[in-house]
Amino acid sequence: MAKLEILTVPDPRLRQQCQRVEVVDDGIRQLMDDMLETMYAAPGIGLAAIQVGVAKQIVVIDLSKDDEARKPLFLVNPEVVWTSEEARVYEEGCLSVPEYYDEVERPERCRVRHLDRDGKVQELEADGLLSVCVQHEIDHLNGRLFIDHLSKLKRDRVVKKFSKQAKFSGKAPAAL
């Protein structure tokens, strides 16, 4: 396994639409393993392939606590097929928007159809934090960040802050 570099705003690759995976093969499984290692090291609870510069519809998630056995979820070509009418506000953060957190309202529950690590079709019923995490990561696959759910003023402030940091660090890609 290898630890990968996580892209951060304002990197324009974070706005790409990700491509469907045709076959879950050893290369895709290796990527998922590398994504998990990267996510655990960050540390985080979810990571989309685009966050490591791979524009494929792949998500890894693990909500287990430090003192629990790891329970990774592998979602390939995930698609939300149902959401509840009830919404809930959670404070979200993102490995691609480091050390910034804000409240986002999302459906409390969702159902997601996806391929698993073996390429088999599965459906996942999620609620609470898992529902938030799944929706957050699927947003990444569609070129959306959690800051897109904030007011334009808040979003612009965040992007400006990170653009300025990138400029001073010499890593300034084109703005979002």
Q: Which residues pair with 114 in a beta bridge?
A: 122
Kindly name the residue from 85, 86, 105, 137 that is annotated as catalytic: 137
Residue closest to 101 by CA, chosen among 112, 93, 109: 93
Helices marked H in 72-174 — which ranges? 128-141, 152-169
Q: Hey, what are 39's tokens?
A: 């996510």
Greatest alpha-carbon pair distance for the chain in Å reads 46
Cα atoms in the 13 Å half-sphere on the side-chain side of 159: 20
Contact 21, 76 (CB under 8 A): yes
Q: Is 123 a catalytic residue?
A: no
Contact 3, 34 (CB under 8 A): yes
Contact 62, 72 (CB under 8 A): yes
What amino acid positions are annotated as catalytic residues?
A: 137
